[in-house]
Amino acid sequence: MLILSSKILVIIVAIIHLYILWLEMFAWLTVGKKTFKTIPSEMFEPTKKMAANQGLYNGFLAAGLIWSLFISNSIWENNIRVFFLSCVLIAGLYGSITVSKRIFLVQALPAIIALLVTGITYYS
The model's confidence at residue 2, banded by pLDDT at 50, 70 and 90, is low
Compute the distance between CA of residue 31 and CA of residue 24 in angstroms, rounded to an integer. Answer: 9
pLDDT at position 15 over 90: yes
pLDDT at 123: 81
Q: Give the Å distances, CA to CA, from 7 to 3, 10, 76, 107.
A: 6, 5, 14, 17
Compute the distance between CA of residue 37 and CA of residue 18 in angstroms, rounded to an integer. Answer: 21
Q: What is the pLDDT of residues 57-83, one digit of tens each?
A: 999 999 999 999 999 999 999 999 999
Compute the distance between CA of residue 37 and CA of residue 122 in angstroms, rounded to an integer. Answer: 40
Q: What would the mean pLDDT of 92-102 be, rounded to a whole number? A: 94
Read off the pTM: 0.93
pLDDT at 38: 84
Indicate the domain borders of the chain: 2-123
- Comparing C-alpha atoms, which of 40, 44, 21, 7 is closest to residue 91? 21
The model's confidence at residue 4, banded by pLDDT at 50, 70 and 90, is confident
Compute the distance between CA of residue 79 and CA of residue 20 in angstroms, rounded to an integer. Answer: 24
